[in-house]
Amino acid sequence: MNEASRTTPRIRLGTRNSPLAMAQAVETAARLCAAHGWTEGAVELVPVLASGDKVLDRPLSEIGGKALWTKELDQWLGEGRIDASVHSAKDVETIRPSEFHFPAFLPRADRRDSLVGAASIAAIPHGAIVGTSAPRRASQLLNLRPDCKVVTFRGNVATRLGKLEAGEADVTFLAAAGLERLGQSAVGHPLGQDEWIPAAAQGVIAIECLAANAQVTALLAAIDHAPTRAELEAERALLAELGGTCHSPVAVLCQTGDGEPARSRLSMRAALFSPDGTERIEGTADFAPGDHAPVRALAADLLARATPGIAPHFRAQNLQNGG
């Protein structure tokens, strides 16, 4: 038995047991060990089978929303079976239980969507079947390519690639960050942000723990990335103000500027869609990190301009429905 295996874990990280979730947990553990000078055995990874990984034949919005990715980890965290949870930030509900908080967000990876099966939106064959279960991807695609047909496509990266290979669809979307973390970037074609707006929080790994656990909070805070936190908190503030849920076709791009003084500013572009893609409204905001007043103003402007096909999907009461 080597020294690492004899080490009593200093922290137990809960994670979904999909290959991508495990890769994210491994990255988190490595960053914690580097930050604190720990040996590998100081961080224990505790996998859990999430409800969202059990039912793959229906859209997430029909079977319980984003809470299906978090509820088992929440239960284990509350019971003390784990010390912290590792999440894909875009899979976490906008409103979280008050007993939890996020001491750390890791540096954001590629936030773009990758297209698998075609080199660009324009290159998708006419009338193609496109597999996705994300309302944002479906509506944004139909807005640009109304000739395409969207079919439900769920599962981890390998499952979706297998469905594509089996001919269940001609094209699908995957997060560029996920492909990168799995060493499969060559599979897809990242979509330019001028044409295609990604999801809020895409590319970010979030680490959550009990708000009352000061010791674990301090350990995790050592790997927090402030620029990523500023972007993510602004994006989540927009979703909260919109009443956006897993049912809501909303795309958000929030970026920190390059160089000084631009680096101290954030720019946000957001678009809302009708589910069938025929209606689309956009807006932008520029603001300092932590100043969410312009973000709230952007949300108010978008809601004020929401068309009949868009407005019903962005009600404040949606926040009670698990998105």
Of 83, 91, 110, 113, catalytic: 91
AA identity, residue 231: E
Long-range contacts of 29-35 (CB under 8 A, 24+ apart): 31/106, 31/223, 32/219, 32/220, 32/222, 32/223, 35/222, 35/223
What CA dihedral angle connects 85, 89, 93 and 99, to 10 degrees?
A: 40
74 is catalytic: no
Cα–Cα nearest to 21, from 99, 92, 96: 92
Rounded distance between C-alpha atoms, residue 133 and residue 68, angstroms: 15
Do residues 74 and 96 touch, judged by C-beta distance below 8 A?
Answer: no
Strands 171-175 and 129-131: parallel
User: What's the start-to-end Cα distance of the chain, in Å?
Assistant: 45
H helices within 209-276, ranges in order?
A: 214-221, 226-242
Which residues form the catalytic set?
91
